[in-house]
């Protein structure tokens, strides 16, 4: 007589990280896009200057783990977004990804989804330019 082992159901989530140089925002959704958890640097610290700090990013990831443990999520897609027109994502983004891997999550892929301006609006001045 064979005994069937109950297989634990595992889920996959998507982590959206918006890391500017002023704040760090994290949101976890399931694959359908339903929000599971949402955190920001201001919920962890009361100091405005520390909201984009890598240490605060580490605390965000640990609190995120506590919020999503009921959903049996063990693997994550990570999407990082920086400030538009900036040099890249802020300092808290790498700390969040590093801490999530240390906490036992399997990171399937990391992609950067920062919007890049191309061209922009029309310059004023007409066809022959602005005459000084």
Cα separation values, 46 from 1, 37, 49, 89, Å: 60, 20, 9, 22
125, pLDDT greater than 70: yes
Mean pLDDT of 91-108: 94
- Residue 83 in domain: yes
pLDDT tens-digit series, residues 1-13: 666 666 666 789 9
pLDDT band at 86 (very low <50, low <70, confident <90, very high): confident
- Residue 126 in domain: no
Residue 31 to residue 40: CA distance in whole angstroms: 21
- Residue 64 in domain: yes
pLDDT for the residue numbered 7:
60
pLDDT for the residue numbered 80:
96
pLDDT for the residue numbered 105:
95
pLDDT for the residue numbered 123:
83
- Residue 121 in domain: no
- Residue 34 in domain: yes
Residue 110 to residue 99: CA distance in whole angstroms: 14
- Residue 32 in domain: yes
Residue 110 to residue 15: CA distance in whole angstroms: 10
Please tell me the total count of domains within the chain.
1
Contact 112, 89 (CB under 8 A): yes
Instruction: Rounding to the nearest 10 degrees, give the CA dihedral for residues 83, 88, 86, 41.
Output: 40
pLDDT tens-digit series, residues 24-40: 999 999 999 999 999 99
Query: What is the end-to-end Cα distance of the chain in Å, rounded?
Result: 93
pLDDT for the residue numbered 119:
84
pLDDT for the residue numbered 5:
62
- Residue 119 in domain: no
Contact 18, 91 (CB under 8 A): no
| Mean pLDDT for all residues in the chain | 89
- Residue 123 in domain: no
Domain span at residue 80 reads 11-112
Residue 79 to residue 112: CA distance in whole angstroms: 6
CATH code of the domain covering residue 35: 3.30.420.80
pLDDT for the residue numbered 4:
67
pLDDT tens-digit series, residues 49-73: 888 899 999 999 999 999 998 999 9
């Amino acid at each position: 007589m064979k005994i069937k082992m109950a297989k634990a159901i595992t889920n996959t989530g998507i982590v959206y990280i918006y890391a500017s140089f002023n704040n760090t925002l994290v949101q976890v959704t399931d694959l359908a896009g339903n929000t599971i958890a949402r955190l920001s640097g201001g919920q962890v610290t009361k100091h405005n200057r520390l909201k984009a700090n890598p240490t605060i990013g580490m605390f965000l990831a640990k609190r995120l783990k506590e919020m999503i443990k009921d959903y049996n999520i063990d693997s994550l897609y990570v999407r990082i977004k920086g400030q538009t027109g900036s040099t890249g994502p802020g300092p808290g983004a790498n700390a969040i990804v590093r801490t999530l891997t240390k906490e036992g999550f399997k990171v399937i892929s990391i992609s950067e989804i920062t919007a890049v301006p191309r061209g922009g609006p029309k310059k004023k001045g007409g066809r022959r330019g602005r005459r000084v």
